[in-house]
Amino acid sequence: MAAKTKPAPKATPAKLPAVDLKTRKLIVALADEVAAAAERRRDLWLDIPTRSLSNVRFNKARKIVEMGGQKNRRQLFNLSQAKSYMQTLLVATGCKQLIEQQKTTSIRGLYYLLKHTIEGTREETFATQEECDPIIEDLEVTLESLREELHVYASNRGGMVGPITLIDSGDEIDCSRMGSGGYSIPSIVEADIIKFKSCDAKFILHVEKDTVWRRFNEDKFWRKHSCLLTHGGGQPPRGVRRMLYRLHHELKLPIYCLLDNDPWGYYIYSVLKQGSINLAYESKRMAIPEAKFLGLRSRDYERCKLNPSVQIALADSDVKRAKQIAAYPWFAGKKAWQKEIATMLSNGFKLEVEALISKDISYVTETYAPERLAEADWLD
């Protein structure tokens, strides 16, 4: 590895956007460190920040989850780590290539771009995509860069409708004229790709699932209440979280969340509000501490006089997960949230937002959500 090789042609920096110049510089710096160590015939290693609960802390002042300073050393001359070490550099090389070519690819596409049999062996660079995905995340956290800044995206899973006009890769998109399907929120929503041209919305209502979103869209809730209506197809992907973050911070739009009354709904809210453990290093660009939990609430079963048939019995895993969430530092000190979770456990059942349909097909859009918004009846 000490032998010098002819450097690959470099892209002209002036041709790259500022964000790409920054990311490319980080990758080159990583490679330079490896090359310098090899030329000095020293052990080659990378320090990868630890992505686990033990290396996460809650910043009470900023009200977000942040990553700690723990790191795992990945060494080339350690037989158990050599492959993952080389895979990390291979992924970095692939991302640098994408940046310089000004192209993007999916996680799946990057896997195939880098997958090959190593010359002179029967060894594959990656056996499966499941082997490649964690390496991408390792590179993100090492460079402190979003996956999207590495020109890698995930599949679209999320939608938006309402009075806002966007410029998406040069194309003007009026999100109030997107029909029943709405605007599909892409994985990459950074300012160099998505620009906000005009917006007449007063707030954002984020719902958990496409089925509920479609009811709100069909009933034109967004038009009656001058809001943006978004969904994340369950756990919102990073593109949706980044879009909500940008809409909230750049356009100053309040965000209200309508999610299922179960541990999963609570967790989705937690991720939107404080950030996720796995992506703690990016909470500063994703978490929205001011987001509010509109519902579904544990008390809504009685308050809305719902039919007993909509109850879904809590499994042991639900009870365990609810107690874990109640112990999160950002929920532990909040009496309202402790009462909310305790009531669900006392009820012995969970509820989906769709349960409100048992009252009337449009009860959630015409009664439930408008009343909760008018009364400012939400959890923080």
The catalytic residues are: 112
Distance (Å, whole) CA 212 – CA 150: 33
Q: Which residue is listed with tokens 């109030």?
A: 176
Alpha-carbon distance values, 276 to 3, 183, 325 (Å): 43, 25, 12
Exposed, middle or buried: residue 343 (CB in 10 Å: 0-12, 13-18, 19+)? middle
Helix or strand or coil: residue 333? coil
Q: For helices 82-101 and 18-39, give the axis angle rounded to 10 degrees.
A: 140
Around Cβ 217, how many Cβ atoms within 10 Å? Answer: 25
DSSP state of 351: B
Q: Which residue is listed with tokens 């290539």?
A: 97
The answer to whether 107 and 133 have CB atoms below 8 angstroms apart is yes
Structure tokens at 101: 């070519």
Distance (Å, whole) CA 265 – CA 258: 9
End-to-end CA distance of the chain: 55
Amino acid sitting at position 293:
F
166: left (phi over 0), alpha (psi -120 to 50) or beta: beta
Amino acid sitting at position 60:
K
Distance (Å, whole) CA 16 – CA 372: 47
DSSP string covering 20-86, please? HHHHHHHHHHHHHHHHHHHHTTPPPEEEEEP-SGGGEEEETTTTEEEE-S-EEEEETTSTTTHHHHH
Helix (H) or strand (E) holding 159: strand 159-161
The answer to whether 150 and 99 have CB atoms below 8 angstroms apart is yes
